[in-house]
């Protein structure tokens, strides 16, 4: 495994003729029509109406879902060509995710949630504690380290989720409406946390309904009825 400090070149995320068709009753739904796009380092906002295919796109980029056609290439790696177990390892090493509803482990404290990916990576306890504390501090939550997710506000939980996603310094950070349930000020704070890694050359893909948020992005993709176009 390559330590984050050893990585130099930004990792390019490439969607090639990527599509997803779901079975639906007697027929099918084209949730995502074939599209090709290079996700450049920096912040890419994905906008579009409800049901247009945004989450479908993100789940394919993450390798959570299997494309009907095409492929996702991360650096030199064809994501879906990897066997399941290796794909999970690859994801752990290169990706961070922020889900719409934070997905924190309810029985772990804020600190333990941030530490969790480092535990999976076999980072020694002392080192991962230190890193998790620094990450919590980075999202302004040092004072909440021992809180369980149920004891956190929505915005605090989302910030812990971002700290967790950043724990392994991922090349690719994917976020599905992380600011959707937050008030404007908290949403702004969460957005700043995603912009930071984008400025450092990470590839950050952010789904948002919020046009204001999209204006802060370096690149914008529009999804409409499964069709992806570049530009807002």
Out of Mg ion, ligand ATP, none, what residue 64 binds, judged by CB under 5 to 8 A for its kind, is none
Minimum distance between the CB of residue 94 and ligand ATP, rounded to whole angstroms? 23
Name residues contacting Mg ion, limited to 36-65 (CB under 5 A): 55
Binding at 187: pick from ligand ATP, Mg ion, none (beta carbon under 5-8 Å per type): none
Residues in the chain: 232
**179 counts as binding Mg ion under rule CB under 5 A:** no
Nearer to ligand ATP, 204 or 207 (CB): 207
Please give the size of the binding site for Mg ion, defined by CB under 5 A. Answer: 1
Name the site residues for ligand ATP (rule: CB under 6 A). 22, 24, 29, 31, 48, 50-56
Q: Please give the Cα distance from 148 to 17 (Å, whole number).
A: 42
CB of 223 vs Mg ion, minimal distance in Å? 10
Question: Could you tell me where the DSSP H helices lie in the chain?
Answer: 54-62, 84-94, 110-120, 125-138, 154-166, 184-199, 211-215
Instruction: For helices 184-199 and 154-166, give the axis angle rounded to 10 degrees.
Output: 10
Least Å from the CB of residue 210 to ligand ATP: 12
If contact means CB under 5 to 8 A according to the sort of partner, which of Mg ion, ligand ATP, none does residue 215 touch? none
Cβ 48 to ligand ATP shortest distance, Å: 6
In the bound state with ligand ATP, the residue whose beta carbon lies nearer, of 53 and 149, is 53
Look at the alpha carbons of 2, 83, 13, 215 in this order and tell me if their dihedral is positive or negative: negative
Do the strands 227-230 and 219-224 form a parallel or antiparallel pair, or are they unpaired? antiparallel
Q: How far is the CB of 15 from ligand ATP (least distance, A)?
A: 14
CA–CA gap between residue 203 and residue 138 (Å, rounded): 20
Q: Under DSSP, is residue 175 helix (H, G, I), strand (E, B) or coil? A: strand
- Smaller CB distance to Mg ion: residue 103 or 169? 103
56 binds, among ligand ATP, Mg ion, none (CB under 5 to 8 A by kind): ligand ATP
- The whole-angstrom separation of Cα 158 and Cα 227 is 29
How many Cα atoms sit within 13 Å of 156 on the Cβ side? Answer: 18
Distance of CA 86 to the CA centre of its chain: 19
Residues that bind Mg ion (CB under 5 A): 55
């Amino acid at each position: 495994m390559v330590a984050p400090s050893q990585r130099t070149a930004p990792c390019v995320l490439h969607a090639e003729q990527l599509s997803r068709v779901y079975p639906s009753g007697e027929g099918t739904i084209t949730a995502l029509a074939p599209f090709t796009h290079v996700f450049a380092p920096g912040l890419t906002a994905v906008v579009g109406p409800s049901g247009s295919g945004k989450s479908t796109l993100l789940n394919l980029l993450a390798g959570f879902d299997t494309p009907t056609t095409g492929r996702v290439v991360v650096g030199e790696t064809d994501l879906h060509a990897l066997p399941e177990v290796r794909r999970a390892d690859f994801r752990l090493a290169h990706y961070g995710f922020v889900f719409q509803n934070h997905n924190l482990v309810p029985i772990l404290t804020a600190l333990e949630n941030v530490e969790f990916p480092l535990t999976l990576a076999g980072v020694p306890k002392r080192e991962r504690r230190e890193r998790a504390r620094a990450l919590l501090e980075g999202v302004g939550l040092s004072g909440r380290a021992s809180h369980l997710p149920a004891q956190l506000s929505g915005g605090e939980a989302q910030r812990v989720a971002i700290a967790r996603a950043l724990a392994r310094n991922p090349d690719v950070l994917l976020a599905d409406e992380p600011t959707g349930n937050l008030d404007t000020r908290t949403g702004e704070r969460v957005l700043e946390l995603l912009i930071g890694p984008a400025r450092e050359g990470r590839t950050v893909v952010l789904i948002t309904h919020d046009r204001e948020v999209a204006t802060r992005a370096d690149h914008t993709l529009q999804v409409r009825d499964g069709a992806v176009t570049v530009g807002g």
